Amino acid sequence: MNRKGLVIMLVILALAVMPALGKEKNKEDISKELITKTYFLDHITPRDVNRSLKAYILDVSGDQNSNMVTVMLQKKNLEVFEKLLKRLDVERKTIQVRIFTVIASNEKKGEAIDNKDLRRVLDELQKVLSFKAYRLDGASFINIKEGGDPNYLELISKLPNLNLRIDDVRIKGNNPGERIIDLGELRLNSGKVRLISTQTSLKENGYLVAGVSKAGHNGDALVLVINAVIK
């Protein structure tokens, strides 16, 4: 092989190897820019971190029992990430929710209701709705965390399979007694039949009346009287 041929072969070889070398260098650069850190959370779960700060996280793993989360992210985002995590990992308020299941009907006289708060609400309903009688069907209770996971509750009722889902709960305002509780999702199912699916809100210590017509026989309606107290 003459000298000219040897030079051509060396050039071809160099061209073939160069991109691979470049990629290796690129990988090294990227790995230098990444950081993996582990955090022990106080008030929120690894799922909350992943859900809220997903845009910064390249990889995530977590343990629910120790409430620990490990994240991989770019070094340049670390400061912002930790600042946001600090803001996120604060004590969440607990909201006590009472749910009275009431049947409203036009047929017969209602039963006497002992709970005076509920009676007051139903007296007001009597003035604005056309039902003749209200009967308490059951009362349920649930504690929900602000911004926590979805809350599921099978309501105490004579109606079969009444399932309530409350999700995306936020508290608006800072003044006790004047705060608004936002319910991102309030969903009531009777078995597979969806009776209510809505987004709504209620004042703390106030009452939310959620009614569904045609839920029973003879034009009966199902009424949920929901009361929420922030603890």
Out of 26, 64, 96, 198, the residue judged to bind another protein by CB under 8 A: 198
When the beta carbons of 60 and 171 are compared against another protein, the nearer one is 171
154-to-16, 76, 164, 166, 188 alpha-carbon distances in Å: 66, 47, 6, 12, 10
In the complex, minimum distance from the CB of residue 213 to another protein, in angstroms, rounded to a whole number: 5
Residues that contact another protein, how many (by CB under 8 A): 28
Could you tell me the smallest distance in angstroms from the CB atom of residue 46 to another protein?
35
Given the complex with another protein, which of 73 and 113 has the nearer CB atom?
113
Taking CB under 8 A as the binding criterion, the range among 8-16, 36-44, 161-169, 191-199 that sits at the site for another protein is: 191-199
Per CB under 8 A, 49 contacts another protein:
no
Nearer to another protein, 94 or 126 (CB): 126
Rounded Cα distance between 69 and 79, Å, is 17
Pick the binder of another protein from 203, 217, 218, 228 (CB under 8 A): 203
Residues 127-156 that bind another protein (CB under 8 A): 128-130, 132
Q: Residue 206 interacts with another protein (CB under 8 A)?
A: yes
Beta-strand pair 34-40/221-230: unpaired
Using CB under 8 A as the binding rule, the residues of this chain from 207 to 226 that contact another protein are 207-215, 219
Pick between residue 132 and residue 170 the one whose CB is nearest to another protein: 132
For residue 220, what are the contacts with CB-CB under 8 A and spacing of at least 6? 103, 104, 105, 106, 107, 214
Q: Which of 175, 202, 194, 198 is CA-nearest to residue 186?
A: 198
For residues 63 and 45, is the Cβ–Cβ distance under 8 A?
A: no
SS3 content of the chain, % helix, strand, coil (to 5): 30, 45, 30
* Phi, psi for residue 43 in degrees, rounded to 5: -120, -10
Q: Please report, as ranges, the residues that interact with another protein according to CB under 8 A.
A: 106, 120-121, 124-125, 128-130, 132, 195-196, 198, 200-203, 205-215, 219
